[in-house]
Structure 1
Amino acid sequence: KHPSAHILLYGDFNFPNIDWINETQLITGNAEAREFVDVCLNFNLTQLVSEPTRVTSESSNILDLILTNSPESLESISYLREISDHKVIHTTLNFIPKTRHISSKTIHMYNKGDYEAINNELRDFLPEFESSFDSRSLNSNWLVFRDKIFELTNTYIPKMNLPANQNIPWFSKLSIRQENKRNVSFVLRNVLVLRAHGRSTMLQKTHIMLQFEVQNRRFIALTYLKF
């Protein structure tokens, strides 16, 4: 769902068999350790700790790990004196927050257009258009006419912005509430297995679909010019 999200994992993973310093001999032979390394590789995770975090008279291992898919975020790392039998790891990481750019699309409100002005402009444009009509190709004539229509549309028909992710902008809050009611009724019907409730759900679904159609037609009627 979030393929570009930052991943950061801290903790005592307790894999003494993994040699994080020597990448060519990463695993000395342990099925669980090998599986763990495979998971890290599959998720493109880099291990940032480079010094042993647990040192005894018998062993010295990197048990406490920092795993991330953004190793470039590490600014500094230091190893402090042990509180228990593990060293304290202090790190500074810099993650740049990803801002969400909300794009929008512009639609014309044709129901509020100044069509008298458009007709006057077209009336003045027609003689000029016809005077050189024969000297242009069919495609050129079409482009001249199209560009004039675009110019008049942008000049005399007001515009409004809508969020670009509104695939169905006529889907109002009322429509959402009614859809939620339908979903709740559907779940109740499956749980209770009541025939009468099932008929009620079908009727409610039909009513909601009609409401959606009304909302759709109303949006189109208020937004788009019908020729």
Structure 2
Amino acid sequence: MTGDFNLPSVFWIDDQGMTRSSPEQNPIIEVLADNILYQTVTVPTRMRPGENPSTLDLVVNNDPEKVIRTQTLSPIGSSDHMPVLSSIQLNSKPSKYTKQSFTNYKMMVEELIDANLETHTSDDVEASWLILKNTLLESQAKNIRMTWKKKPKTLPFLTPKIKNLCNRKKKLWEEFVKQKTVYEKYKIVRNLPRKETRKLTVNYEEHLAKMSRKTLSYSGNISPCVNQADTQYQTWRITAQSLPAPPKKLTF
């Protein structure tokens, strides 16, 4: 469980909360202790010039041994809250591939028509349902093609310029946290990555609209098409070439 719990007077030692100045916040600490819950953020998550740092954004869990590490990042935009990044050990590793299915609905409809289910039905509702179910499952198994597509390691529009801006922002924030200086320099840089990312995203999607082949690769979920002779295109490249011309102007 994560979020902004807004407990500025609570400090955390060995995953347990303690407070001296706000007795009304004790019930929250007691609830965590009674349910054997632990809080793994021990560094300040909110910093503002002229004010004491405080740990407001918490990560609560019931098994701290699975939390490999918890760290804070530089704030997003003009926020004074630092994002909290927790690495948690899971039982299974995330897949590097995404599953996709392509269904030939036209062929399924033709097979269902040819099956002539009326001749196989009976007065027994359960038996009729079993016939219909098996017919659908058989058609589904024959006409749905499953593929696996490798997930990209990074966003296609994430340029070296964006990475440099993010690294610059991170270094200025870390210097401010340690020495309480360079805050004015940080204010100048903090919104630049977000502005640049939004601009590059729009430009990239406009570029995709003009390149049908790249659009197929980018979206990854366009089903096979057929031409006027009801023949299915053999490859996604040929399918892309058959798509209509893109609009002259996009609205986002």
Give yes or no for TM over 0.5.
no
Higher relative contact order (CA 8 A, sep 6+): 1
